[in-house]
Structure 1
Amino acid sequence: MTPDETSTPRRTRALALSLAGAALVAGTVLVPAVPAAAESPLTWEPCEGLPVVAAGQECARLSVPLDHGDPGGERLTLAVSRVRGDRPAERRGTLLLIPGGPGGSGLRMLGQKGDALRARLGGAYDLVSFDPRGVGRSSTASCGLSDDDRHLAHLRSWPAPDGDVTENVARSLRVAESCARDGGPVLRSLSTANEVRDIDALRRALGERKLSAWGVSYGAYVGAVYAQRYPRNTDRWVLDSSGDPDPARVGRGWLANMGRGVDERFPDFAAWAADPAREARGLRLAARPEEVRPRFLALAERLDRAPRETTTPGVPLTGNRLRQALQNALTNTASFPRLARLLKEAGDPDPAVRPVLTDDVAGAMPDADAAVTVGVVCNDVRWPRASAAAYGRAVAADRARHPLTAGLPVNVTPCAYWKDTPAERPTRITDQGPSNILMIQNLRDPATPYAGALKMRAALGDRARLVSVDRGGHGVYLGNGNACGDRAVTDFLRTGTRPAADVRCAD
């Protein structure tokens, strides 16, 4: 899944992880073996160096086994954070915020959402989150990738302008080999199953019999897996922006669905960009919404042939970099202005005009971020080892169906050449367990399309209710501006009452 839990289309889920400061030091070095009792208690202290901090946010470190099957062996450190409830007499328990990605930072998520959550929930919960293993201030891994391979528009397998996948195959093989050579045991431990085990270790360290949770994007999948494996440890469970949980297509199916998701979301941008209200800021792209898509496609094709120099030295605006900027911006309507401005600059006939690239497409992500972004999905499930010709045929067909994503969703990835067989099979989500899950989903989500969420809903059966919001973008609760959807989640977390049936919220 893409972009992280804040629904802000930064470099991707992984870009948000660059958290400076020394309060909780991340590293690739394993902690010497210590007894399992070191998981608890947690020592809380003020957070330092976080880019965004909620009022009263505290930080701590949690020691967890590298391999939960060997609790006395080597250990990793997880960076944890909390905002304590300010009404002890009304305390409900702990609400865990599960970040998206793979690669999203829970410390950042809590810093951004903590104040609003505490206000909405009346201070009845201690709000807790964490940087998953591999992320931010927790123990990380490195694949030793080159700067060029860590550009998002390259790490994502965008085909060549003519649809050729030769370079994608070479890059995917190179990344897989580098991760196998340099990633070490930490990289091999990055998986959904281990994140779920880490969450249960955190629950025990907090002294909680049960947790409530709000998981967003990939975090919603992690939350679903936790609820399947530890059903008795769940209280009130919110899955926000879910993907298809089919265990045979974890990761691969999420990526393949993005072509449809972008197609469903693009009309929102087209309507926005053709609105006369955009004229005042010089951001109107067309007189009618139906003109925006062909103009975007024509501009991307022109940049395929002749990339344009930008204000970022050595980083030209190519057609694929423009397509990546579109994919990022569609996750959040607040990013429409910057996308429209980029399109205006890229299409300006004056050659002296240099487009300004935003951070999400301008530079290379840190190596640790690239490692976790690739490592989790490749470790979770075996990907098909098809021939380059087979990938080429799949790309050609998908380009015809979904021109906006140009074949990316079905193209080869490093997972096709991953050296390690997945340590275990993905968990199958079922309807067996307590009926304490509330799902919320935008109808036009470019990253986790609605059709995939319906498959999660079907898998959970009566365990869940679904709140469908007639809006676009990725991430709903406290990030979408829809009062009906926000109210449904807030009421559930405050009272435990779910709707009697699935609910549709109008825009």
Structure 2
Amino acid sequence: MRTAPLYATIGSLVLSALTVTPASAWDGPPAAETRGTAVAAARAAAAGIDFGACPEEEMLPETLKCGRVTVPLDYAEPDGPQIELTVSRVAATGDAAGRQGALVYNPGGPGSSSITFPLLGEMSEWREVARAYDLVGYAPRGVGDSAPLSCQDPAAFAERPTDAPVHPTAADKEKRIARARAYALGCERNAGDALRHYTSLNNARDLDVLRAALGEPELTFMGASYGTYFGALYATLFPSHVRRMVFDSAVDPDPRRIWYRSNLGQSQALESRWADFRRWVAAHHDVYGLGATPEAVQRGYDEVRAEIAARPAGGTVGTGQFQAAFLDAAYYDDYWAMRATALSEYRRGNPEPLIAQASRDAVTAKGDENERAVYTAVECNDAPWPEDFAVWDRDHTALAAAAPLATWHNAFTNLPCAFWPTPRQRPLDVGTRPGELPPVLILAAERDAVTPYEGALELRRRLPGAVLVTERGAGTHGVGGAGNACVDGHLRRYLLTGRTPERDADCAARPEPNAVSLD
């Protein structure tokens, strides 16, 4: 999964043939971890958080305050090694009588930070919520300054250009297998015994310690994308600690889909969203000149890709960077005009917009490598993965025939999990009993490809009393606070009053982007 934005700023017949032996879900967490979480939460409640200036190197405004929360590396041993999580906060701007506590946000990943989230309180869409709540962000374990995880040298991670074959040859696959093995070994070498403790279950436990450190008897939480998954784990583990929860763009929590099948489903769904982008570009042929049909747009894209495979754009953009840039268009339609312009200009002989949009940034290489390391560790640790590459090869070759855009990209991103050096967990069977959880709100875009809509339906089924708000016909990943007045109205009303719609509700999609170009 990739990060879902809070505001505008990753065929069924084929899938039925894809197989992986599912992990058996376990009935609950070990008692030692449950006791350890209670011990850590009690300590955090007593210690609180000493909020002060944020680190200078972060270059954050003075209105944002930062602090640290101590959590056990291993919840089975709460008196063992400890790590610290970085937390940020902007205090509620309203009067004390109207304050409702802290609202904690996680944007997804795994591997993403919400340290800057509290700054959203200055935006008009969030001012009313910011008057009632302390807005709280944090860097989960492994992320940023929170016991940071690294699996390779950031400079090597930012190596350019890179290749990304749509239909890899046997030689391509052997090369990627070698890279995946080396990457997994790098994670083990750098993290040592700590590597196995980067998990979604520990992210949920950390969230409960954070709740206690904030002085909150119950948690008000909003999670997007992957944040919905460990938010659902939290609701399962600590239902009595939940005050209000918003799940934006929900991961399918079915333990049989975590994470191998989830990535296969995402690759298939991204192909449908890519078709939406090509249809939009074709409808604006007068602006971009890329073809009047989706098929013509695809041919032009393929031709540019072939040229870049032979000669990287500007010496920096290979097919790997090219594909990653255009995958953004399948994630967020805010990218549609930018990417269409870049493709159009390249075909006219001007590669500069494409180079600017697709080149990796050396300045952000350390953070980008850290995010990838945490993503890999969490997904590999969370669940069993096929260890025989023949299974990956069979499943992804079959899927790529119908969904070529992201299938092998996803496969090679996750391939270190086939060679992972630490024990894998069995996913928790997410769910609560009727009446065990307060009403919660689920937000979803009907054509979201990063976390396909079926995941929102499955999460609603597993959390009795949950209400689903759907942005019909829309496909941008992350819908809460993204500018749809209908969706944002439901979100704001729930956070401020705790009221959900009486039944599932629909909102019309926001208008598609305007077509603009360098001309």
Deviation at 1:378, TM superposition (A): 0.9
- 1-structure distance, mates of 2:480, 2:232: 17
| Matched-pair contact (CA < 8 Å) for 1:140–1:186 | no
1:126 is matched with 134
Deviation at 1:234, TM superposition (A): 0.6
Matched, 1:468 2:473: no
Deviation at 1:239, TM superposition (A): 0.2
> Which structure 2 residues correspond to residues 329-348 of structure 1 after superposition, within 5 A?
329-348=329-348
Where does the alignment leave 5 or more consecutive residues of structure 2 unmatched? 11-39, 510-519
Deviation at 1:409, TM superposition (A): 3.7
2:431 is matched with 430
- 2-structure distance, mates of 1:175, 1:154: 16
2:32 is matched with none
2:485 is matched with 483
2:173 is matched with 165
Cα 1:198–1:354 change in 2 (3 A) is closer
Q: Paired residue for 1:42, among 49, 56, 62? A: 49
- 1-structure distance, mates of 2:446, 2:61: 30
Q: Paired residue for 1:453, among 452, 456, 460? A: 456
- 1-structure distance, mates of 2:98, 2:175: 58
2:82 is matched with 75
Q: Match of 1:321, as an amino acid? A: Q
| Residues 137-186 of structure 1: CA deviation (Å, up to 9, x unaligned) | 22212223474455699699976368952222111111111111222244
> Which structure 2 residues correspond to residues 71-470 of structure 1 after superposition, within 5 A?
71-87=78-94, 88-112=96-120, 115-116=123-124, 118-121=126-129, 123-145=131-153, 147-149=155-157, 160=168, 164-276=172-284, 279=287, 283-304=288-309, 306-310=310-314, 313=315, 315-318=316-319, 320-348=320-348, 355-358=354-357, 361=360, 365-366=365-366, 367-387=369-389, 389-410=390-411, 413-422=415-424, 424-432=425-433, 433-460=436-463, 462-470=464-472
- 2-structure distance, mates of 1:83, 1:354: 37
Cα 1:182–1:50 change in 2 (3 A) is closer
| Matched-pair contact (CA < 8 Å) for 2:3–2:224 | no
Deviation at 1:390, TM superposition (A): 3.4
Partner of 1:78, secondary structure, is strand
Instruction: State which drifts further: 286-295 or 251-260.
Output: 286-295
| Matched-pair contact (CA < 8 Å) for 2:268–2:399 | no
Cα 1:278–1:484 change in 2 (3 A) is farther
| Matched-pair contact (CA < 8 Å) for 2:226–2:250 | yes
Cα 1:161–1:296 change in 2 (3 A) is farther
- 1-structure distance, mates of 2:274, 2:185: 36
| Residues 222-246 of structure 1: CA deviation (Å, up to 9, x unaligned) | 1111111110111111000111112
Q: Paired residue for 2:66, among 54, 59, 66? A: 59
Q: Match of 1:127, as an amino acid? A: L
| Matched-pair contact (CA < 8 Å) for 2:112–2:371 | no
- 2-structure distance, mates of 1:362, 1:227: 38
Instruction: State which drifts further: 234-243 or 182-191.
Output: 182-191
Partner of 2:78, secondary structure, is coil
Deviation at 1:301, TM superposition (A): 4.2
Instruction: State which drifts further: 203-212 or 320-329.
Output: 320-329
Q: Match of 1:499, as an amino acid? A: P
Between structures 1 and 2, the one with greater helix share = 2
| Matched-pair contact (CA < 8 Å) for 1:159–1:165 | no
Deviation at 1:209, TM superposition (A): 0.6
Instruction: State which drifts further: 62-71 or 238-247.
Output: 62-71
Cα 1:145–1:187 change in 2 (3 A) is farther
Deviation at 1:66, TM superposition (A): 1.3
Cα 1:76–1:278 change in 2 (3 A) is farther
Report the TM-score, using the length of structure 2 for normalisation: 0.82
Deviation at 1:293, TM superposition (A): 3.0
**% identity of equivalent residues:** 31
Cα 1:447–1:473 change in 2 (3 A) is same
- 2-structure distance, mates of 1:51, 1:78: 15
| Residues 229-285 of structure 1: CA deviation (Å, up to 9, x unaligned) | 110111111000111112233232332122222122224322432344972xxx453
- 2-structure distance, mates of 1:72, 1:35: 13
| Matched-pair contact (CA < 8 Å) for 1:99–1:219 | yes
Partner of 2:331, secondary structure, is coil
- 1-structure distance, mates of 2:371, 2:282: 36
Q: Match of 1:457, as an amino acid? A: R
Deviation at 1:498, TM superposition (A): 1.0
- 2-structure distance, mates of 1:197, 1:2: 21
